[in-house]
Structure 1
Amino acid sequence: MRPFLIVAIAAGAACFVPVGATSEPSAAGAGGNTVGESPEQKAKNQAVMAALEPACARCHGTGSNKPFFASLDAFETLLVFSDRYVVAGHPEQGELMPLLRGAGSGAFKQMPLAGPTFAALSDSGDTEITMAELETWIRGLDADVQLDTSGANGIVQQRLDAEHIQQSMLDQLGLTLADFWRIDESGAPGEAFVDSYPMRAPDDLPMNPSPLGHSNTPYAAWGRYTAMGGPNRLARVRTRSEVSPTFLLNFVQTAQAWCGIAVAKPNNPVLGTLTASDTTATNLPGIRANIARLYLRMIGEPPTEPDVDALLAVYTPYESQSVQIAWTATCASILRNPLWLTY
């Protein structure tokens, strides 16, 4: 067990108090998500969070459906000051301690879900905090601390996850599995078409994979899906929502490839009523109107004139190569708009 944790719980976490700080509760909490929380209390919570992380953070970190350990604010908001799990001053109440003992009242009876309970691990010395120390921590929590529910410190925007990206692009671009895969008689996708940049969840069925290592097999599609943060539940890979270089590289390539496939399809929703003969020289109003229509379809709000002008500036340089390439670039530019990618 970490020595500082014992000090933090038993001695009031004095070693964590910044120079010049007092034991008086702050007006808005040291972390901004609580009202009336003292620096000492926040330090204790930080110490407990750090001690629980080795056993809990893998399943309850950033991107999970219950991200208790994504940050100290998340730990306090979702767990410490949530009466469902912890009742300040009363370790016998709340769901946290029963879950750790294997006596939970909800759908999940114990934590961790598999193997020995946390309490059993604690008894064998395999945790960094004991059940007794957790009880002492809960008894010492200040019942007068309140969460700041103003919303100023909440998550107000995040990117789409891989499932949403995949389904939104399929729907908005008018694409189906048959645009990426050779579908066998059972309806399962097999080998992908060259340069189609297929994307498919490893958990999706049916699946008919070709030999491992083939560049156009479902294995490449699985890798692209997980690179964009999609889960692989059989491999215990959770959903991730960070905007990483790996995500951006795969998303940009996939968006451009899928827009190209959509533009090449007859009666596709990207061109709308336009044809390859409609250019800025022959039908500039129609080009602008279609850009506005496509923006509304994909972003979900009407574009301003500057929005249309900006996309026309993307379209025009590529028109000399081909109308198809110009609309592919315009479509991909809309997909890369933060308004499309976030909510």
Structure 2
Amino acid sequence: MRKRILFKIVAPFVVALGAASCDGDEGNTCGGPTPEERARNQAVFDALAPSCQGCHITGARGYFASIEAFESLVVYNPAVVVPGKPDGSELIRLLEGKGTGAFKQMPIAGPPFAEIAASGSTKMTMAQIREWVTNLESRTADPLPSIEARRITRLSAEDVGRALYQQLGLSDDDFYIAASAFDIPHKTSQNDDLYPFTSPDSIPAPYENLPVERFAALGGGSAPNQMKADGTVSPSFLGMITQLAQRWCGLALDKSGNTALLPAGASVQTGSADAASVKSVIRAWYLHFHAVDATDADVDRVFSTVFVPLEMEKDARNAYVGTCSYFIRHPDWIFY
């Protein structure tokens, strides 16, 4: 009851504050663009993307990573576009080869966009882009966080690699050997059955392409390779994280002297007959993988519904591998 009363008291103030934050001078509204504005912005995005996306699809200057990024970083950024004033907009100056900043033109190599457009090789002319800026309505970013913003996000491909290496006690040495070609150092896979994955931007770079394909399946991006990072929970991500979890858990448990998962002296042959020992491992893995101090009920549930059935299916080692994989594939590990 107290929470409901508090909500009734606070909610009107939150709504009022939100409304106040969006008030401003006429023609200087905040919030997202209207559907009509989005359509016009999308047309410009589509026209510029072929010339700009190669360098600006990822990273700090990922202006063309998405229409949302384009609008946030370019369209409604007064340092780049001044609504109603094409001659005062750095974007127009860059496209016409008259930039006043670090770069004089875009794209930086070859003729500027205006010359490319003049040859009829683009979807829009410079006159049309200038008209778009002239008719553009100014918008101010709302200082309040959006109630529709995501509260959680999943681990990136890079995060997955770092976390698994640390939590499973693995490293590049378990998957690659040092090599070189024409005196250029790289790393080559010891055995692709180990399911290595790595970014194409890593140093040393991978020699084979399969580790890079796995990295891409996890949503990894690469500026040099023009691979856009994908932070969604896609089918390829789910399929790849499942395969990696199974294979790498087995590799970690079998690695000699590795105490990342099992304490020194413990064995993957210790099965459910010694329930106390197995439950001790499960409790430790809750803290290890999920940073959670598990309850007895949590431990009993994983023991009875995950470990024991997998052991009955084959053996104790199979149960440890599957239980380890369970913790990695769990939403509490994937999301933060």
Settle same-fold status: TM greater than 0.5.
yes
CA contact (8 A) 1:112 1:118 kept: yes
Q: Tell me, yes or no, if the aligned pair for 2:169 and 2:258 is still in contact at 8 Å.
A: no
Q: Is the 8 A contact 1:100 1:111 kept in 2?
A: yes
Does structure 1 retain, via aligned residues, the 8 Å contact 2:158–2:220? yes
Do 1:199 and 1:221's aligned partners in 2 also have CA atoms closer than 8 Å? yes
Q: Mapping of 1:118-197 within 5 angstroms?
A: 118-143=113-138, 145-148=139-142, 149-182=144-177, 189-193=187-191, 195-197=193-195
* Coordinate RMSD, CA, aligned: 3.5
Percent identical among aligned pairs is 35
Q: Is the 8 A contact 1:271 1:327 kept in 2?
A: no
For 2:32 and 2:160, the matched residues in 1 are separated by 41
Q: In 2, Cα distance between the equivalents of 1:251 and 1:165? A: 9
Distance 1:272 1:219 in 2: 36
The 3 A distance-change label for structure 1 pair 65 and 157 is: farther
Matched, 1:221 2:211: yes
Normalised by the size of structure 2, how large is the TM-score? 0.74
Distance in 1, matches of 2:191 and 2:35, equals: 59
Taking the aligned partners of 2:171 and 2:193, their CA distance within structure 1 comes to 16
Q: Secondary structure at the match of 2:284?
A: helix
Query: Structure 1 residues 225, 322: CA separation in 2 closer, same or farther (over 3 Å shift)?
Result: same
Listed as ranges, the matches of 1:19-58 within 5 Å are 34-35=30-31, 40-57=36-53
Question: How many positions carry a matched residue from both structures?
Answer: 302
User: SS state of the match for residue 87, structure 2?
Assistant: coil
Gaps of 5+ in 2: 1-21, 24-28
Residue 307 of structure 2 is matched in structure 1 by: 315
- Which amino acid counterpart does residue 45 of structure 1 have in structure 2? N
C-alpha displacement at 1:133, in angstroms? 2.4
Aligned residue for 1:91? Answer: 86
Verify the 8 A CA contact 1:295 1:303 in the aligned structure 2.
yes
Gaps of 5+ in 1: 1-26, 210-217
What one-letter code is carried by the residue in structure 2 that aligns with 1:202?
Answer: P
Q: How do 1:1-343 and structure 2 match up within 5 A? A: 34-35=30-31, 40-57=36-53, 59-60=55-56, 65-143=60-138, 145-148=139-142, 149-182=144-177, 189-193=187-191, 195-206=193-204, 209=207, 218-231=208-221, 234-265=224-255, 266-272=257-263, 274-276=266-268, 278-284=270-276, 286-303=277-294, 307-312=298-303, 313-320=305-312, 321-343=314-336
| Aligned twin of 2:6 | none
- Cα deviations across residues 233-286 of structure 1 (Å, max 9, x unaligned)? 5544343334333333222212211111111123331123543354333242x4
The one-letter code matched in structure 2 to 1:325 is N
TM-score calculated relative to the size of structure 1 = 0.73
In the alignment, the residues of structure 2 paired with residue 108 and residue 336 of structure 1 have an alpha-carbon distance, to the nearest angstrom, of: 45
- Which residue identity lines up with residue 79 of structure 2 in the other structure? R
1:92–1:299 CA distance, 2 compared to 1 (3 A): farther
Instruction: Verify the 8 A CA contact 1:264 1:324 in the aligned structure 2.
Output: no
Greater helix share, structure number = 2
Q: Distance in 1 between matches of 2:212 and 2:162?
A: 15
Q: Secondary structure at the match of 2:106?
A: coil
Shift of 1:151: 2.3
Aligned AA for 1:170? Y
Deviations 1:56-107 (A, max 9, x none): 445545x655454455444333322222322222223343223323444555
User: Does structure 2 conserve the Cα–Cα contact (< 8 Å) formed by 1:270 and 1:294?
Assistant: yes
Shift, 1:337, TM fit: 1.8
AA aligned to 1:197 is Y
2:11 maps to none
Whole-angstrom CA distance in 1 between matches of 2:66 and 2:73: 10
Amino acid at match of 1:248: L
